[in-house]
Structure 1
């Protein structure tokens, strides 16, 4: 019996990788709840920052782009840079892609992955089933990687929680629960600014606290983009073009440079279409840093240092940390202890070689967990165009 490849995760990168492997005739078992992060961990009413051209899942066959889904569903076609994608539309597109190209998906959690005695990998499922795979692709996306800075974690000793004083932006799908409440959103990226705007539109009084160099700013609309620079899915700039289409040499950069670029390239910046909804509805408090947080009878209090050097205390009914995600192998608890100790890592992220393979032969990582090796494009759906065919090609050659 031919052992299958196990793909763990059913978001854009997992589904795209599985489609490429299936097209090569490689037996695949795919595990996860399709598009769950987009369906359950993004705020209702959210609009994607990415353009339609940057929002299609890559696959070897034609006919499965976002525009193709719109045609099949009979909805308005989303194709130009000025078309804005509702998260509900993108989620439905991913589920349609899965039904068409990855029909055998198994909605069960992988509990553990370890090396098998006879080569390959031993997997145990939440259902109790155990089996051996010849290779494993970890495409778990944002799951378990929500980052809460230490200075905010003090006010949430049990971890961030929607009903506690401090939560993470990924824990809120319905922001209407904050009607009539005072809300602080910490962050300056698209997640922070859009969460703030949606909460304000729902009836909350909202203040955004941005830290350090994370000044609140918005991108330029498509018609104001410079015309004499190469186009990329993220805008017109030589650096964005290089990161989008030529990430091959990225993994050869020094560790410090790679991690810095992942954080800063395409860093905190609101979408051009969000400015009008945000301005005059949300108060902005730009500070040098958040010094700490505490909870007084369930009410969060932030202590901040302003850019003028003053110390201030800010209170609200609730604090949402829109502070992004941080890859950490230690948080991927489905990986067995032996596997985790054998993995070469850099600042908690796997160091990947050609074809997205890790230092453990047969164990691959794609999506956000590959960003420190292949660059900022791996944080976005359009990264599937580079990652999925190369991963599938390497895996087929090494384990075909």
Structure 2
């Protein structure tokens, strides 16, 4: 009996990879809830920052992009850079893609992955089943990677919680519970600014606290983009064009440069269409840093260092850290201890070679964990166009 390839995760990168592996005739077992991060960990009413051209899952055959879904669902086509995608539409698209191309998806969780003596991998599912796979693709997206600044993490002794004083933006699907309350949102990226706008629209009194270089700003609308620069899924700029379409050499850059670019390129910036919903509705405190956080009195309080050299105390009923995600192999607790120790890492992220393979032959990473090896495009859905066919080709050659 031919051992299958296990794909762990059923978000955009997991589904796209599985579709490409299947097209090559490779037996695949795919695990997870389809689009779960988008459905359960993004706020209701959210709109995608990415344009329609940057929001299609890559498929091995035509007929499965976002426009195809719009046609199949009988909804208006989302085509131009001025078309804005509701998160509910994108979730529906991902589920449609899964039903069409990965219908055998198994909605169970992988509890553990370990190497076996035969060179393959032993997987245990939460159903109790044990089975052997010839290779494993880790495509778990944002699962377990929510990041809190050290100052907030220290104050949230038992971890961030939606009902406690401090939480992470991924823990809030419904922001209506903040109606009539004072809310602080820490961050300056799209997640922070859109969370703040949605909470304000739900009736909360909201203050955004942006730190250091993360000043609140919004991108230029499509009609104000520079005309004499190459077009990319993220806007017109030579750097964005190169990182979008030529990620091949990225992994050869010095580690310091790679990690810096992942953090800074396409960094904190609100979408152009969010500006009118934000300005005048949300207070903004641009600070140098958060000195400390405290909730011993039951009310969360932030002490911040101001640009003038002083300090200021900010209080609210709740503090949401919309401070993104940080890849850390140690947080991927489904990977067995021995397997984790064998993985070469750089600042907690896996070092990947050609075809997205890790230092352990047969273990592949795609999506956000691959960003430090293949660049910022791996943080976005359009990264599937580069990643999925190359991963499938490498895996087929090595383990087909």
Q: Deviations along 1:342-376, whole A, 9 cap, x unmatched? A: 00000000000000000000000000000000000
Map 1:319-334 → 2, pairs under 5 A: 319-334=319-334
Q: How far apart in 1 are the matches of 2:291 and 2:343? A: 35
RMSD (Å) for aligned C-alpha atoms = 0.5
Q: How far apart in 1 are the matches of 2:83 and 2:19? A: 27
Q: CA deviation at 1:394?
A: 0.1
Q: CA deviation at 1:297?
A: 2.6
Q: CA deviation at 1:171?
A: 0.2
Residue 242 of structure 1 corresponds to: 242
Residue 94 of structure 2 corresponds to: 94
Q: How far apart in 2 are the matches of 1:153 and 1:136? A: 32
Residue 149 of structure 1 corresponds to: 149
Q: Secondary structure at the match of 2:295?
A: strand
Q: How far apart in 2 are the matches of 1:70 and 1:218? A: 28
Map 1:163-182 → 2, pairs under 5 A: 163-182=163-182
Runs of 4+ aligned residues of structure 1 deviating over 4 Å after TM superposition are none
CA contact (8 A) 1:327 1:369 kept: yes
Q: How far apart in 1 are the matches of 2:70 and 2:348? A: 39
Residue 355 of structure 1 corresponds to: 355
Residue 280 of structure 1 corresponds to: 280
Q: CA deviation at 1:140?
A: 0.2
Q: CA deviation at 1:58?
A: 0.1
Residue 124 of structure 1 corresponds to: 124
Residue 104 of structure 2 corresponds to: 104
1:45 pairs with 2:41:
no
Unaligned runs of 5+ in 2: none
TM-score normalized by structure 2?
1.00
Q: How far apart in 1 are the matches of 2:354 and 2:34? A: 27
Q: How far apart in 2 are the matches of 1:76 and 1:298? A: 48
Q: CA deviation at 1:119?
A: 1.4
Q: CA deviation at 1:75?
A: 0.5
Residue 372 of structure 1 corresponds to: 372
1:160 pairs with 2:160:
yes
Residue 225 of structure 2 corresponds to: 225
What count of residue pairs does the alignment treat as equivalent? 400
CA contact (8 A) 1:155 1:300 kept: no
Q: CA deviation at 1:229?
A: 0.5
Residue 268 of structure 1 corresponds to: 268
Q: Secondary structure at the match of 2:155?
A: coil
Q: How far apart in 1 are the matches of 2:9 and 2:350? A: 17
Residue 20 of structure 2 corresponds to: 20
Q: How far apart in 1 are the matches of 2:219 and 2:16? A: 29
Q: CA deviation at 1:116?
A: 1.2
Unaligned runs of 5+ in 1: none
Q: Deviations along 1:262-310, whole A, 9 cap, x unmatched? A: 0000000000000000000000000000011000332100010001111
The answer to which of 85-94 and 112-121 deviates more is 112-121
Q: Secondary structure at the match of 2:127?
A: coil
Residue 308 of structure 1 corresponds to: 308
Q: Secondary structure at the match of 1:291?
A: strand
Residue 183 of structure 2 corresponds to: 183
Residue 399 of structure 1 corresponds to: 399
Q: CA deviation at 1:199?
A: 0.1
Q: CA deviation at 1:104?
A: 0.3
Q: How far apart in 2 are the matches of 1:323 and 1:297? A: 24
